[in-house]
Chains A and B, each alone.
Chain A
Amino acid sequence: MKILYFAWLRERIGCGEETVALPADVTTVADLVSWLGSRSPGHASALAPASDGRRIVRCAVNQDFADPETRVTERDEVAFFPPVTGG
């Protein structure tokens, strides 16, 4: 699976893109976030929820906004990023 990180997530994790082999029990975005968080302290810090439990990090699967429940497979492109601030 191709995973992309943008803005401060990219800086905190230390790379903008990585290719990972998905464990069989990772089937949703929420699973993926938990699993990625165990890869390094940078991942854990970047993907952690806010202290009040709010979800900070946004996700897109195949370039469409996704929810924690969105299903993912090995063939997907998944991106993690902060709330957008363009315009």
Chain B
Amino acid sequence: MAAIRVGLAPFDVAAELAALTGDRTDIGGIGTFIGIVRGTAHGRSLASMTLEHYPGMTERALVAIALAAERRWPLQACLIIHRVGRLLPGEPIVLVAAASAHRQAALDATAFLIDWLKTKAPFWKKETFLDGTEAWVDARETDEEALARWGATPTPA
């Protein structure tokens, strides 16, 4: 059963992973991905990044993404935490984790979860630069290509 959370609050990776494991002893490994706000974009220094989302659809999309991973790999647990609002360089944005009896499933499912999230979950990033200018981040074709390696249908274009 996947745990999904979207909110403003920072997350504690160690506490989240401990909660994911709980008292279980059938988990052999946990794959994790942590996305972090970079301090530069297009060679310019970033003051902050603001994340907007579509409340309701976001949670539905993340549940669907987690279910797709659970159908594909034998997972004991998986977790997606995504922050929204204003974040500073160095702050974590997203935590994805997948637990399985063996490492390959855990690592592959983790990569799948973040690749799907990047193209199928309704979040949008706006960059605010140190000079005060702002710009919405453009979607990258490489994200669609990353999704395609899982044999998944890209978001309707």
- Chain B: interface secondary structure? mixed
Q: Which residues of A contact B54 (CB under 8 A)?
A: 4, 6, 60, 63, 79, 81
Count residues of chain A with CB under 8 A from any CB of chain B: 21
Fill in one digit per residue for A51-65: 1 if any B CB lies within 8 Å of its CB, else 0: 000110010100111
Q: Which residues of A contact B124 (CB under 8 A)?
A: 6-7, 81-82, 84-86
A68 to B, closest residue via Cβ: B156
A86 to B, closest residue via Cβ: B123
Q: Which residues of A contact B137 (CB under 8 A)?
A: 85
Give complex CA distance A23, B124 in Å. Answer: 31
Q: Which residues of B contact A4 (CB under 8 A)?
A: 54
Give complex CA distance A67, B153 in Å. Answer: 14
Q: Which residues of B contact A64 (CB under 8 A)?
A: 57, 60
Evaluate contact between A87 and B57: CB separation under 8 angstroms.
no
Evaluate contact between A65 and B155: CB separation under 8 angstroms.
yes
